[in-house]
């Protein structure tokens, strides 16, 4: 099963760090992924190794909310939380215990908070032939989970099909199959009660049930989209928020890569 391992830290902390410390944290994360990659390639394990995404700063973020059919632009992340997501990995694991063991990051800085959450659906289409002039943005669907769980299965299927339709429109608008480079990655997450949070406590990393942030609104899924500008990304976010109350967070991606082994 695929798990999303989200890394978060106190909001604004990265702004106070020097380049050496930021480099140390990035290197530690890369070494964890490199160790996983080497072990799995040596073991001959096929399929998706991992997707790794580093996100831009919160001041670069725009949130879109559908209020009565009108799309409002709000500066900053949605919702506001004490700790801010800095990036995430999506990795196949045989069990939740294996995912948690990887996500503990024992040697990492103490302010790091990680969340392990199962991924319900995952798909992508990518065309990189030619010169790409696009930047990648993460469009996160933010929802009131209690209200979302009350929606009928037929309505959930309708919403999923609508999101897939937006992705298909993106591909068609770029003639992506043989012309303009592009990327659209879609993921739908399991409910937040299935998440585990790992944070430093009493000299060790402790595992607790539930998401890292205690908020009414939680991430229900996301799309990674290559766009020419944040305005284009917001245009696609508007299409992903057709219903009153829908909210999409639009945030630049600093780096995105994946490894697939056949």
Q: What is the pLDDT of residues 167-209, one digit of tens each?
A: 889 888 876 656 667 888 999 999 899 999 999 998 899 999 9
Give the Cα separation of 34 and 26 in Å (integer): 12
Q: What is the pLDDT of residues 240-262, one digit of tens each?
A: 999 888 999 999 998 888 888 76
Quick one: pLDDT at residue 194?
Answer: 94
Q: Where are the beta strands (DSSP E) in the chain?
A: 2-10, 47-55, 62-67, 70-75, 83-92, 113-127, 135-144, 182-189, 196-201, 204-209, 217-227, 247-261
Quick one: pLDDT at residue 179?
Answer: 66
Quick one: pLDDT at residue 128?
Answer: 64
Supply the CATH number for residue 195's domain: 3.30.70.1060
Residue 203, domain extent: 2-261
Quick one: pLDDT at residue 15?
Answer: 83
Q: What is the DSSP letter of 190?
A: P
Percent of the chain with pLDDT over 90: 47
Burial bucket for residue 37 (CB in 10 Å: 0-12, 13-18, 19+): middle
The domain tally of the chain equals 1
Q: What is the pLDDT of residues 110-167, one digit of tens each?
A: 999 999 999 999 988 877 665 555 789 999 998 887 777 787 888 888 888 888 899 8
Percent of the chain with pLDDT over 70: 95
Q: Which two tokens stand for residue 214?
A: 């205690």
The residue-averaged pLDDT of 218-229 equals 91
The yes-or-no verdict on residue 56 having pLDDT over 90 is no
Quick one: pLDDT at residue 129?
Answer: 62
The residue-averaged pLDDT of 62-72 equals 91
């Amino acid at each position: 099963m695929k798990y999303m391992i989200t890394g978060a830290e106190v909001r604004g902390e990265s702004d106070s760090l020097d380049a050496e410390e930021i480099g140390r944290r990035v290197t530690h994360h890369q070494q964890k992924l490199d160790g996983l990659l080497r072990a799995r390639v040596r073991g001959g394990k096929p399929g998706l190794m991992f997707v790794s995404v580093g996100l831009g700063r919160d001041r670069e973020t725009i949130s879109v909310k559908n209020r009565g059919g009108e799309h409002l632009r709000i500066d900053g992340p949605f919702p506001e939380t004490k700790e801010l997501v800095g990036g995430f990995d999506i990795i196949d694991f045989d069990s939740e215990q294996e995912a948690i063991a990887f996500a503990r990051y024992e040697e990492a800085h103490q302010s790091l908070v990680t969340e392990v959450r199962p991924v319900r659906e995952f798909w992508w289409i990518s065309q990189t032939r030619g010169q790409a002039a696009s930047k990648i943005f993460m469009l996160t669907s933010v929802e009131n989970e209690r209200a979302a769980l009350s929606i009928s299965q037929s309505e959930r299927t309708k919403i999923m099909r609508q999101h897939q339709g937006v992705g298909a429109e993106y591909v068609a608008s770029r003639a992506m199959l043989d012309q303009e480079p592009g990327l659209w990655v879609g993921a739908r997450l399991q409910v937040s009660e299935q998440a585990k949070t790992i944070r430093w406590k009493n000299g060790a990393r402790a595992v607790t049930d539930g998401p890292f942030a205690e908020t009414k609104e939680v991430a229900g899924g996301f799309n990674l989209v290559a766009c020419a500008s944040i305005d284009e990304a917001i245009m696609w976010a508007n299409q992903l928020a057709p219903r009153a109350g829908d909210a999409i967070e639009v945030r630049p991606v600093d780096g995105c890569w994946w490894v697939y082994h056949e």
